[in-house]
Each structure stands twice: as structure tokens, then as C-alpha cells.
Amino acid sequence: MTPILLAAEVTKRFGGLLACNGLSLAVRPGEIHALIGPNGAGKSTAIGLLSGEIAPDSGSIRFGGADVTRLGIAARVRTGLTRSFQITTILPQFTALQNVALVAQVRAGHSFHFWADAHRDAALVDPARAMLERVGLGKRAQVPAEDLAHGEQRQLELAMALMTGARMLLLDEPMAGLGATESQQMTAQLAALKGSLTVLLVEHDMDAVAALADQVSVMVAGRVIATGSFAEMQASQAVRDAYLGAHA
């Protein structure tokens, strides 16, 4: 199957630090692909490069068959490649429904200068409400985002990312800061996306990775050293030495 996302020999230096060292990664349509590795491996830089937040020094990134190497964040979102979770994007004093409706407003190409319009326009509110239902926040639509529990804010961020019309999500540690019950709920939400949406997941929670990932790529010292199923990565001595030993 032709990859929907293909990074080839992507390199990025920050002064004397080689953050990504010939990163190569292929993600197939419809799969949940986990990118794991020890702290300092370059995972956050990799997500920044793939999302358009960071420009590479060399190498190429293709999404949906098109070269997006030099496109910025907004342009990549328009192609269907959306990042979420590392940087909070919710507006705390707006309700959950207003937050999602504002994303729908931008996606529809409406002016963004009239904050109040988004929650009055049925063409924006109805799909926003449906998206909240999809992520399990239907009953919390009118609650200000700042009053949502941390796990609910993560669900809201997921709804906002999906509302962009994404074909692929780049999720940076969606389980970070969640309790056991919240992690289970988020895992279930992401599992429900499998097959209908492509996901690249950076995550330290190995239980979530084991439950969700169709493929796992292990990143060490700025490059992917192995890719395969979770069981294959768990059985690999090189991977165990680099990262998984404490979890195996």
C-alpha cells in the first residue's frame, strides 16, 4: 500500500545539536502508527518537521503523494495533515461547542473576526455538536473549556483537530497528564478512529501503544532504527536496549 505520509532522510540541526539525523518514516493510510523512543530521541522535532512547524535542513516529506517539505502549518492543515495535543489550542472562556464551531468557521472560509457568529450559525453549530458527540462530549457542549476536566479538554482538542477535516492526525503524547480512567477513555476514542483516519502517535504510555498501534517505529538519536508490530519491537534486542527494556 502506498504510504500517505513519507519522510525520506529528513535532517534538522539546531546549532551544534543534530535533532533529526536522516529520519525516514512511512505511514500507511488508515493505520495508527506509533513513534516511540527514549527522551531526547528527537520525537518532538520529528512531529514539528512533519507538521510544518519546523523547516528541515535536508530531506523530503510527502503527504498524499504531494511534496509538502516547504509548506508551513496552515498549508499542511489545508492538505489534511493536522497536529494536536502538544500545544493547547482551546480558548478557555469559550464553551466546548464554541471552540469546535470556531474551527468549523475557519474551515468553511468564513471571516474569523466575529467571534460570536460561530455559535449562532446552524451550518457551523450542527457539525460542531455532532463532532462533540463523536468524541464523547455531547453532554458537555455548553461548558466553558476552562471548566472541563483535563481529560475532557483532551477530548475537546481531539474534536477540534477532527473538525479541520484532517485525513491524518499527528498526536503528540495524548495520554500525558491523564489518569488511568481518562487514558482508557482516550485510548477508546482513538481506537474508534482506526481505519477511517490515519494517525501518527507519539506516546510514552506503552499500554496505549500496545492497544492502538498497527505499526511502531522506534526512534533513537534522531533516526528510526526499527519498524514493525508492537510484539516485534518488544522482541527486538536492539529496541529493548534502546527503550523498551523497562516495559518488556
User: Residue 84 has what pLDDT?
Assistant: 84
Q: How confident is the model at residue 109 (pLDDT cuts 50, 70, 90)?
A: low
Q: Which three cell numbers stand for residue 209?
A: 501503544
User: Taking a C-beta distance cutoff of 8 angstroms, is the pair 71, 80 a contact?
Assistant: no
Q: Rounded mean pLDDT of the chain?
A: 89
Cα 208-4-11 angle, rounded to 5 deg? 85
Q: In this predicted structure, what is the pLDDT of residue 104?
A: 86
How high is the pLDDT of residue 118? 52
pLDDT over 60 at 155, yes or no:
yes
Cα distance between residue 84 and residue 155, in whole Å: 11
pLDDT digits (tens, 9 = 90+) for 24-47: 999 999 999 999 998 889 999 999
Options 3.40.640.10, 3.40.140.10, 3.20.20.70, 3.40.50.300; which CATH number does 1-80+168-248 get? Answer: 3.40.50.300
The cell 473549556 sits on which residue? 145
**Region 78-86: what's the mean pLDDT?**
85
How do strand 17-27 and strand 5-14 relate by DSSP bridges?
antiparallel
> Is 233's pLDDT higher than 90?
yes
- For 93-99, what is the mean pLDDT? 94
Average of pLDDT values for 187-197? 91
Read off the DSSP letter of residue 200: E
Residues 6+ positions from 73 with CB-CB distance below 8 Å: 51, 52, 53, 83
Separation of alpha carbons 72 and 199, rounded Å: 19
pLDDT of amino acid 90: 87
- Give the whole-angstrom CA distance, residue 204 versus residue 174: 10
Return the SS3 of 101: helix
Those residues whose C-beta lies under 8 Å from the C-beta of residue 125, and which sit 6 or more positions away, are 97, 101, 118, 119
Contact (CB, 8 A) for 99 and 156: yes
Residue appearing with cell numbers 483532551: 154
Query: What is the DSSP secondary structure assignment for residue 41, as one 8-state letter?
Result: S
Domain boundaries of the chain, sorted by first residue: 1-80+168-248, 91-165
Looking at the whole model, is its pTM more than 0.75? yes
Between CA 189 and CA 133 the distance in angstroms is 11
Q: Cell match 491524518: residue? A: 168
